[in-house]
Copies of this chain bind each other. A is one copy, B any other.
Amino acid sequence: MPAPKPWEDLISQEDIGSFNRSFEALNRPITAGTKPAVVVIDMTLAFIDSSYPSGHSETGWPAVAANAKLLESARALELPIYFTKAFADVDHVVRPKEHGRWKVATLGSSPSPTFPGDVFPEALTPLPDEIVINKFNKPSGFYGTPLTSYLIYDDVDTVIVTGMTTSGCVRATVLDAFMNNFYVIVPHECSADRSQISHKVNLFDMHMKYADVFSLEETIEYMQSVKSPAAVAA
């Protein structure tokens, strides 16, 4: 039985009906390739923890735990893993042309110089072979970065996208992965957002159009089904 979707208490019958589609379309099985990779978007303290103006501890720390579980499985299966963060280094002073046209004054600023926000929590420390991509302040992990070339090098056909925020950088990354013709999976416990209505509606939008939004458990099952020794031997 499929796990419940996080938007079920929110989306009206009328809105779902507007797509001329039955509920089965939303409870479909995962449709993806056999060569997945994991892209963890901006799981840095500035977005996770409420001690930063852009953070949200209530949903951020549970997402850290869910990502840690996903990474444990992905590493055991030797999947390619990439992380993104916002800047090149914690001391980087963002110039106006790097900040660009954001409708917010500052992003990821630190509460104090000794407590920088652009770092990963210990549970999500990248391993030496896992590339950390500096997004230079744009939402998508693909925009202005070499991510496409890494996915092609690693012979990937499916991108599992996690991180923060659901309605911001996660959705932007999902969109670009989809437009490049990768299959996309979003394990929803691994994403979080400050606005809960945005979190749910963006998961719904992505599931309707671009991605398979599934539970962490279902995603791990999928990964194991395509990458376990038995699957590879078949």
Contact = CB atoms under 8 A, between A and B. Distances in A.
A206 to B, nearest CB: 9
Interface stretch (A61-69, A99-107, A115-123): A99-107
A80 to B, nearest CB: 8
A201 B197 contact: yes
B210 A103 contact: yes
A129 B94 CA distance: 11
A222 interface: no
Contacts of A12: 197
Instruction: Count identical subunits in the complex.
Output: 4
A98 interface: yes
A234 interface: no
A114 to B, nearest CB: 22
Interface range on chain A: under 10, 10 to 19, 20 to 34, or 35 or more? 35 or more
Contact of A97 (B16, B20, B154): B154
Nearest to A143: B179
Contact of A197 (B15, B167, B209, B210): B15
B204 A198 contact: yes
Given A97-B150, A101-B181, A103-B207, 12 more contacts: A18-B196, A25-B104, A97-B131, A97-B154, A101-B184, A140-B175, A144-B144, A144-B148, A151-B152, A152-B180, A195-B208, A201-B201
